[in-house]
Amino acid sequence: MHPALLDKLDRLAERCAEVGALLATPEAQSDPNRFRDLGREYAQLEPVVACYRDYRALGARLAAAQELLADPEMAELAREELAVARAQREALEPELKRLLLPPDPHDGRNLFLEVRAGTGGAEAALFAADLTRMYLRFAEQQGWRCETLAVSEGELGGYKEIVLRISGERVYSWLKFEAGTHRVQRVPQTEAQGRLHTSACTVAVLPEVEDLEEIAIAPQDLRIDTYRASGAGGQHVNKTDSAVRIVHLPTGIVVECQDERSQHKNRARALSLLQAKLLAQARAARIDAQSQSRRLQVGSGDRSERIRTYNFPQNRLTDHRINLTLYKLDEILLGALHQVIEPLRQENQAERLAALTVGA
């Protein structure tokens, strides 16, 4: 393992011991906020330090076995011990590196997923529906819950725009890599001459804000309108102004929700979505200021800006961020999205680990 990472692990082990000692002091136990903060820090450090403890124990076993090689009577046993300890330490190292990476604070959150048709007109709207079905099927396989908050249908089918709320275990940690422009190449059903067309959709993935105070919103900065919901819902949708549209005047961000029959519930959902959008905006501004990668940011919807291409004639999916190509497009559209997401997660982990090594 890189020496810089070992140094960092030593410092974390020292801090873990320090926090553990502080938790036992009367001063910390008499201060609920202090005790809570220390407890959270200890809970984050302890798994890393426990794994590092096992890693160091294996290092000690290797050193002891190495010394025994000089004894002719113990050499054979020492070689066996070396082989076993090396294998165990090699297996433990990736887990230790994973634990060493600071967690994304949003990974455990639910999210809002927005799919919008971009370049390509009616065909882009149909592709937006294909993407939406892919995400819904993947979510179903994961046991997540999906709710449609707002939808605008295309003239020939599909969606000009659709907003989903997806909730479940570590939803954001899986779907955050889907943000960006998705390009499709196929022959539309309306194409009489069989020519290949290229269209695009944008996908936004916004972690749900857990604490509504995290992003302060002044009431005077909001314009809230109600209207009659459209779409499924029977006669109710034509009788009650239950749908809610909110405009955040300082930024011009517009959100709406028409999923619930209750105007109060739709208003709460729309405010939650606005919180998520403002949080994402603030996060993007920090990324810009720090000149970090914009790999996960949503583009304009132009065909030239894309994170992924879906080529139907070749049954090919290409993720351009990591140069991943799979000839399993049919499987992936049926929900086997883990085949794409898992390599992205691994690449992201490798990049973060490399950055951690440089900064250690």
Residue 266: CATH number of its domain: 3.30.70.1660
303 with 183: CB under 8 angstroms?
A: yes
Q: 71 with 123, same domain?
A: no
CB atoms within 10 A of CB 106: 20
As a whole number, mean pLDDT of residues 150-173 equals: 92
Amino acid at 290: Q
State how far the Cα of 52 lies from the Cα of 10, in Å rounded to an integer. Answer: 9
CA 120 to chain CA mean position, Å = 27
Amino acid at 314: Q
Q: 161 with 237, same domain?
A: yes
State how far the Cα of 38 lies from the Cα of 240, in Å rounded to an integer. Answer: 50
Q: What residues contact 308, with CB distance under 8 A and at least 6 apart?
A: 180, 182, 183, 317, 318, 319, 320, 340
The beta strand positions in 154-196, using DSSP E, are 159-167, 180-186
Give me the domain span that covers residue 302: 109-360
Q: 229 with 161, same domain?
A: yes
Residues constituting the chain: 360
3-class DSSP state for residue 155? strand
Q: Going by DSSP bridges, is the β-strand pair 308-311/180-186 parallel, antiparallel, or unpaired?
A: parallel
State how far the Cα of 144 lies from the Cα of 154, in Å rounded to an integer. Answer: 27
Q: Note the pLDDT of residue 232.
A: 47
Q: Note the pLDDT of residue 220.
A: 87
As a whole number, mean pLDDT of residues 73-101 equals: 89
State how far the Cα of 49 lies from the Cα of 54, in Å rounded to an integer. Answer: 9
Q: 189 with 290, same domain?
A: yes
Provide the pLDDT confidence category of residue 55 given band limits of 50, 70 and 90.
Answer: very high
Q: 153 with 40, same domain?
A: no
Boundary (domain end) residue, out of 67, 82, 100: 100
225 with 245: CB under 8 angstroms?
A: yes
CB atoms within 10 A of CB 355: 12
316 with 332: CB under 8 angstroms?
A: no
Q: 174 with 32, same domain?
A: no
DSSP string for residues in 206-237: EEPPSSTTSS---GGGEEEEEE---SSSGGGG
Nearest to 100 by CA among 338, 331, 352: 352
State how far the Cα of 346 lies from the Cα of 15, in Å rounded to an integer. Answer: 28
- For the cut 80, the answer to whether the pLDDT of residue 354 exceeds it is no
**DSSP 8-state secondary structure symbol assigned to residue 305:** S
Boundary (domain end) residue, out of 70, 100, 130: 100
CB atoms within 10 A of CB 112: 25
- For the cut 80, the answer to whether the pLDDT of residue 254 exceeds it is yes
Q: 73 with 118, same domain?
A: no
**What six digits make up the tokens of 219?**
């009431």
- For the cut 90, the answer to whether the pLDDT of residue 226 exceeds it is no
Please report, for the domain that includes residue 91, its CATH number. Answer: 1.20.58
Q: Please give the residue that has the higher pLDDT: either 336 or 193.
A: 336
Q: 152 with 258, same domain?
A: yes
State how far the Cα of 51 lies from the Cα of 287, in Å rounded to an integer. Answer: 32
Q: Is the dihedral of CA 339, 344, 346, 347 positive or negative?
A: positive
Q: Note the pLDDT of residue 273.
A: 87
Boundary (domain end) residue, out of 100, 120, 139: 100
Q: pLDDT exceeding 90 applies to what percent of the chain?
A: 48
Nearest to 150 by CA among 253, 297, 236, 254: 254
Q: 114 with 253, same domain?
A: yes
Domain count, the chain: 2
**DSSP 8-state secondary structure symbol assigned to residue 168:** S
Scored b (16 or more CB within 10 A) or e, 278-311 reads bbbeeeeeeeeeeeeeebbbbbebebebbbbbbb
State how far the Cα of 342 lies from the Cα of 230, in Å rounded to an integer. Answer: 37
Q: 87 with 158, same domain?
A: no
- For the cut 70, the answer to whether the pLDDT of residue 157 exceeds it is yes
State how far the Cα of 132 lies from the Cα of 146, in Å rounded to an integer. Answer: 11
**Across the strands, what pairs with 180?**
203
**What six digits make up the tokens of 148?**
């449609």
Q: Note the pLDDT of residue 183.
A: 96
- The whole-chain average pLDDT of the chain stands at 85
> CA torsion angle for 143, 147, 153, 154 (degrees, to 10)?
-30
The beta strand positions in 103-154, using DSSP E, are 111-117, 145-153
pLDDT tens-digit map of 282-306: 777 765 554 343 344 444 444 446 8
Q: 145 with 14, same domain?
A: no
Q: 142 with 96, same domain?
A: no
**What six digits make up the tokens of 257?**
């929700």
Which has the minimum average pLDDT: 3-7, 38-42, 154-158, 254-258? 3-7
